Structure 1
Amino acid sequence: MDRTVHRTGTAPHATAAGPGAAAGPDALARRFEEHRPQLRAVAYRMLGSLAEADDAVQEAWLRLSRSDGDGVANLRGWLTTVVGRICLDMLRSRASRREQPMAPHLPEPIVGAGDTVDPEHEALLADSVGLALLVVLGTLAPAERLAFVLHDMFAVPFDEIAPLVGRSPAAARQLASRARRRVRGGAPAPDADLARQREVVAAFLGAARDGDIGALVAVLDPDVVARADGGSRGPESLIRGAERVARRAAAFAHPSRATLPALVNGAAGVVVAVGGVPVAVMAFTVVEERIVAIETLADPARLAALDLTVLGG
């Protein structure tokens, strides 16, 4: 699918008369734009990629412009399920091409500065959509992910989800239930106090710089999970346990590496830079003042695609 077309901004104008043209292409485009933030949010949760999410939203616009938009009683609901179906097809296509690497493949982070989320990203990050949650969603079967995202995050009824996954409403409910158990077990809700999150992360970074294993273990949950995506199949891309994570953090720390505070998917994080060049983005999940998950994106190609200029320095 062409990713150069209308990934942001307004929907393109319809170019031919036909279904949906009664109110005029401009009116239809305006109605679509009203729902774009939610559609991007659905697609981001499904795909874990802003670029692919925008592709899915663009495809939804194309389908709307070819349909009788005036005959849709609930345009928001119609578009949400259309985007869900498109994302489901994209996930299944990924699986058929075996694109998922052996090492953890982290979703695309949304990085910002300060303590507030950029207005453009507010809908994307509602409901504490941290990287840890997106990682867990990525382990679900496509149909489970769709059922959970549409129902639990966007309140789409199961009788509307069922046709998308080719199941009965009861079976769709079971898909969401299985997904919900996985999410609860693998992606606990982070502490709400961002300032306290930052204090815990600062303590972790300080202990890592000092090589203080004991202090590192003290701020880590005993069952902490650290995932790293460096764009290659590193032997220690997934590490579990406070002692192992602490030793890896101490080994990774170096005076040449500056850590710039950042907001990563709405939670405390840092951008690691060497000589002013970003070499990693780290996201932390802090629960009850201990770090339960660390996600590190260090893939140079993917980092280059992120806009990290918001951090300055």
Structure 2
Amino acid sequence: MSVTMDDVQRFEAFRPRLEAIAYRLLGSSSEAEDAAQETYLRWQAADTGLIEVPEAWLTKVVTNLCLNQLGSARARRETYVGQWLPEPLLAGDPMLGPLDTAEQRESVSYAVLVLLERLTPAERAVYVLREAFDYPHREIAQILDISEAASQQLLHRAKKHVAQGRVRAEVEAATARRVVEEFLAAATSGRTEPLVRLLTEDVEAIGDGGGKIPARARAVQGALEVAKFMRGLFKPSPAKLGLVGGAVEFHLAAANDRPALVAVVDGRVVGVMCLEISAGGIAAFRNQVNPDKLERATGIWAATEHDEPLATLG
């Protein structure tokens, strides 16, 4: 079928939403872009004159492409080198999608994206479409070719799994930013005790280097062990500086709508540390240092203004 300019414009107006849906489902910006582009190719090949509700049609296509992708992605992650973590998105990235409601902000938080990996593809799709994009169950049922009752059941199970994985209530953004600043000061002090005081007893630290940057193959757990690990992680050495290409600036920024530490070398993002902060202290560190998952962050970083670094190592 020949595509008209109106068809192209209609699709391009909806592309950001398709990419935002795909990112929440896949945890990867490049895979989200690929899913949106494949949706466009199918839009080109379709008889658009027969499509009564284009947005619904496009959402159905991209969602089912992502569901197919999730099966192969999980198989690839079984052979992934080290821990697999989603790709973080910095503030200002349109792929974050809508952030108007508490549910939307929660659904794109890094902690929830990690938890979504535990869901079945169908549970994940219903959770994303309902919580992040406010689709009614009637439309979700049509998108996934299931009944409304099945959609409601899937959402109930998904929300239960997410709630079980998040046993602590998060603190306000201003408090979280202060805790991140205190953490960086403690981590660069070379002392363990100030770090321990900022952590919960069962804190966990996970890093994703993708086999390209050294990262612990297993999570570090417990306040004392994590404090020792962080003290070593933030201790500069010629080997570390050589690995990343120079002195590292640490900035307080937002990743996935939560305060985070962004490590930058000569304008290039070399790490994004997402912290899960509760009233009891820092409950989790998730550190993304895989260069393949930081290319988009570097582009966003270069295109947006940011504050002076809180600390520079090297």
Whether TM exceeds 0.5 here: the answer is yes
TM superposition shift of 1:142: 1.4
Q: 2:94 aligns with which of 101, 105, 120?
A: 120
TM superposition shift of 1:268: 1.4
Given that residues 40 and 53 in structure 1 are in contact (C-alpha distance below 8 angstroms), is that contact kept between their aligned partners in structure 2? yes
Which amino acid in 1 is paired with 2:286? E
Partner of 2:240: none
Whether 1:253 aligns to 2:244 is: no
Which amino acid in 1 is paired with 2:229? R
Unaligned stretches of 5+ residues in structure 2: 238-247, 310-314
Report matched runs for 1:195-234 at 5 Å.
195-232=174-211
TM superposition shift of 1:91: 0.7
Q: What TM-score does the superposition give when structure 1 sets the normalisation length?
A: 0.78
Identity, % of aligned positions = 36
TM superposition shift of 1:236: 5.1
Q: Distance in 1 between matches of 2:188 and 2:123?
A: 41
Partner of 1:295: 286
Given that residues 84 and 150 in structure 1 are in contact (C-alpha distance below 8 angstroms), is that contact kept between their aligned partners in structure 2? no
Q: What TM-score does the superposition give when structure 2 sets the normalisation length?
A: 0.78
Q: Helix, strand or coil for the counterpart of 2:188?
A: helix
Aligned length: 286
Which amino acid in 2 is paired with 1:50? S
TM superposition shift of 1:60: 1.4
Given that residues 87 and 294 in structure 2 are in contact (C-alpha distance below 8 angstroms), is that contact kept between their aligned partners in structure 1? no
Q: Distance in 2 between matches of 1:98 and 1:295?
A: 17
Q: 1:191 aligns with which of 165, 168, 171?
A: 171
Whether 1:84 aligns to 2:63 is: yes
Query: Can you list the C-alpha shifts for 1:189-245, whole angstroms capped at 9, x where unaligned?
Result: 64342x332211010111112234332232223333321112238555412332322
* Range with greater deviation from structure 2 (78-87 or 146-155): 146-155
Partner of 1:9: none
Report matched runs for 1:267-306 at 5 Å.
267-273=258-264, 278-288=269-279, 290-303=281-294, 306=297
Flag the 1:121–1:278 CA change in 2: closer, same or farther, 3 A. closer
Q: Distance in 2 between matches of 1:264 and 1:244?
A: 25
Which amino acid in 1 is paired with 2:288? L
Q: Helix, strand or coil for the counterpart of 1:109?
A: coil
Unaligned stretches of 5+ residues in structure 1: 1-15, 112-116
Q: Distance in 2 between matches of 1:278 and 1:161?
A: 37
Flag the 1:102–1:62 CA change in 2: closer, same or farther, 3 A. same
Cα RMSD, aligned residues only: 3.0
Given that residues 40 and 124 in structure 1 are in contact (C-alpha distance below 8 angstroms), is that contact kept between their aligned partners in structure 2? no
Flag the 1:296–1:56 CA change in 2: closer, same or farther, 3 A. same
Which amino acid in 1 is paired with 2:221? R
Given that residues 169 and 279 in structure 2 are in contact (C-alpha distance below 8 angstroms), is that contact kept between their aligned partners in structure 1? no
